């Protein structure tokens, strides 16, 4: 069942080019395994497995790298892991069935999508208190925050919208219609655009943050695959804003998109059901979670070739990397 293409590719890649200079810990949430796998980015080996709550999905790390936050969806909570000890040190109220969240750039506020209640819950991380609950569309999912922290974007999967929320008032200011089942929202590092993936629609909508209108629609074509199999989910955009990576779900590939021309430049075959992505802090590689292959793949962002796949827990979903 496992894909061996990526392993094969790893042997021909130039390891010294590909190896990041820092050893960063990579945290992977395993949806079916109820665990978080910790991988050393330098050795690309599993160093630890941490048992967490039921159905861990969304995962992120504090800007200082001290705390990993995991949505334990079926336990209706967000768990906090101390990265120094690997122990769970507490939990945050999350509202029911948290799936994805985003942390404000200053690390103080967590914005959580509650799928069952059509709400976005805003949590103050320090006091662990609920600051606000914002009604949004049906099945809120993706959460993106602008680099200046002033705007969050939530996507609702059955309403098919990106909701722009002002973080000072907690009010929706704009609703932008996108394609079917929007899964993920990602701001460009300069805050000029928000990219929203539509899993069933098979597209990525580029929304201009100034006018809040869709300016480009990126589509994907892979020879030998039907359009239904191409289901964009996770998105990451490089810090210079030039390149974007889009996880394509059951198409088993990550698309490399020129973020200035919106053209797809390459498809990188990684593993089955590619879900989420995270850059290494130096930007030299990006990691994909491959749910049905039970592994993650390190991709070299210079060559856009897979470097190595590492087996993690059951059904890897999200990934977060400790900062330098």
Partner 1 sequence: MNGLVMKSTVPNTLTFLFGFFLLFVNVSELSAQQSPANQTAKPVVDIRIGYLRAYEPQLALSVLDIPPRDEGLAGANVAINDNNTTGKFLGQKFTLDVEETKFNADVVPAFKEMIARGNHFVLTDISAKQLLAIADLAKDAGVLLFNVGATDDILREKECRSNVFHTAPTRSMLADGLAQYLVWKQWRKWVLLYGSHDDDKLYADAIRRAATRFGATIVEERLYEDKGTARRTDSGVVLVQQQMPVFTQNLPEHDVVIVADESEVFGSYVPYRTWTPRPVAGTAGLVASSWHPASEQWGGVQIQNRFAKTTGRRMLSKDMQAWTAVRILGEAVTRAKSAETKQVEDYIKSDEFSIAAFKGQKLSFRNWNWQLRQPILIGDGHSVVSTSPQAGFLHQFSELDTLGVDRPETECKLK
303: contact with partner 1 by CB under 8 A: no
In the complex, what is the shortest distance from the CB of residue 161 to partner 1, in angstroms, rounded to a whole number? 6
In the complex, what is the shortest distance from the CB of residue 157 to partner 1, in angstroms, rounded to a whole number? 7
In this chain, which of 83, 175, 238, 258 binds partner 1, going by CB under 8 A?
175
- Burial category of 210 from C-beta neighbours within 10 Å (exposed 0-12, middle 13-18, buried 19 and up): exposed
Per-residue CA distances from 53 to 34, 111, 308 (Å):
6, 19, 29
139: contact with partner 1 by CB under 8 A: yes
In the complex, what is the shortest distance from the CB of residue 142 to partner 1, in angstroms, rounded to a whole number? 13
The residue among 20 and 249 lying less far from partner 1, judged by its C-beta, is: 249
161: contact with partner 1 by CB under 8 A: yes
Q: Among 25-33, 124-132, 152-160, 252-260, which window interacts with partner 1 (CB under 8 A)?
A: 152-160
Question: How big is the site for partner 1, counted in residues (CB under 8 A)?
Answer: 34
| Contact by Cβ (8 Å): 168, 183 | no
174: contact with partner 1 by CB under 8 A: yes
The secondary structure of 119-161, three-state, reads EEEEEECCCCEEEEEEECCCCEEEEEECCCCCEEEEEECCCCE
Task: Restricting to residues 192-231, name those near partner 1 by CB under 8 A.
Answer: 199-202, 211-213, 226, 228-229, 231
Task: Restricting to residues 227-266, name those near partner 1 by CB under 8 A.
Answer: 228-229, 231, 250
Q: Long-range contacts for 130-139 (Cβ within 8 Å, ≥24 apart)? A: 130/93, 130/95, 131/170, 132/170, 133/95, 134/165, 134/170, 134/171, 134/172, 136/163, 136/172, 137/161, 137/163, 137/175, 139/115
In this chain, which of 31, 75, 76, 157 binds partner 1, going by CB under 8 A?
157
For residue 324, the tally of other CB atoms under 10 A from its CB is 12
The residue among 8 and 138 lying less far from partner 1, judged by its C-beta, is: 138
116: contact with partner 1 by CB under 8 A: yes
In this chain, which of 76, 115, 193, 295 binds partner 1, going by CB under 8 A?
115
Contacts of 317 (CB under 8 A, 6+ apart): 29, 30, 31, 56, 57, 58, 59, 275, 276, 289, 291
In the complex, what is the shortest distance from the CB of residue 230 to partner 1, in angstroms, rounded to a whole number? 10
Six-digit token pair at 161? 């919208």
Binding mask 74-103 for partner 1 (x = CB under 8 A): -----------------------x------
DSSP 250-282: TT-EEEEEETTT--EEEEEE--SSEEEEEE-TT
In the complex, what is the shortest distance from the CB of residue 158 to partner 1, in angstroms, rounded to a whole number? 6
In a 3-state reduction of DSSP, which class is residue 245?
A: strand
Closest by Cα among 107, 50, 47 to 79: 50
In this chain, which of 176, 178, 244, 280 binds partner 1, going by CB under 8 A?
176
In the complex, what is the shortest distance from the CB of residue 14 to partner 1, in angstroms, rounded to a whole number? 37
Residues near partner 1, by CB under 8 A? 97, 115-116, 118, 137-139, 156-161, 163, 172-177, 180-181, 199-202, 211-213, 226, 228-229, 231, 250
């Amino acid at each position: 069942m496992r894909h061996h293409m990526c392993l094969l590719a790893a042997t021909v890649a130039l390891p010294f080019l590909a190896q990041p200079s820092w050893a960063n810990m990579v945290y992977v949430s395993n949806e079916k395994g109820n665990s978080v796998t910790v991988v050393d980015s330098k050795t690309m080996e599993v160093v630890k497995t941490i048992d967490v709550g039921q159905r861990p999905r969304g995962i992120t790390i504090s800007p200082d790298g001290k705390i990993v936050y995991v949505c334990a969806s079926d336990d209706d909570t967000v768990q906090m892991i101390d990265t120094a000890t690997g122990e769970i040190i507490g939990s945050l109220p999350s509202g029911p069935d948290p799936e994805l969240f985003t942390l404000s750039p200053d690390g103080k506020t967590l914005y959580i999508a509650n799928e069952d209640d059509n709400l976005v819950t805003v949590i103050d991380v320090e006091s662990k208190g609920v600051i606000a609950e914002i009604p949004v569309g049906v099945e809120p999912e993706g959460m993106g925050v602008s680099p200046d922290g002033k705007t969050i974007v939530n996507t609702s999967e059955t309403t098919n919208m990106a909701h722009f929320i002002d973080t000072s008032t907690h009010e929706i200011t704009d609703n932008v219609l996108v394609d079917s089942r929007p899964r993920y929202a990602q701001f460009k590092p300069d805050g000029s655009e928000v990219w929203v993936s539509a899993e069933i629609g098979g597209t990525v909508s580029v929304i201009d943050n100034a006018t809040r209108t869709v300016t480009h629609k990126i589509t994907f074509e892979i020879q030998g695959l039907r359009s239904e199999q191409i289901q964009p989910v996770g998105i990451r955009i490089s810090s210079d804003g030039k390149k974007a990576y889009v996880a394509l779900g059951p198409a088993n590939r990550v698309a490399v998109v020129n973020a200035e021309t919106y053209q797809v430049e390459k498809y990188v075959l990684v593993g089955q059901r590619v879900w989420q992505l995270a850059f290494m802090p130096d930007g030299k590689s990006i990691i994909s979670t491959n749910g049905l292959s039970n592994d993650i793949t390190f991709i070299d962002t210079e060559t856009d070739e897979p470097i190595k796949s590492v087996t993690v827990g059951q059904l890897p979903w999200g990934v977060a990397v400790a900062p330098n």
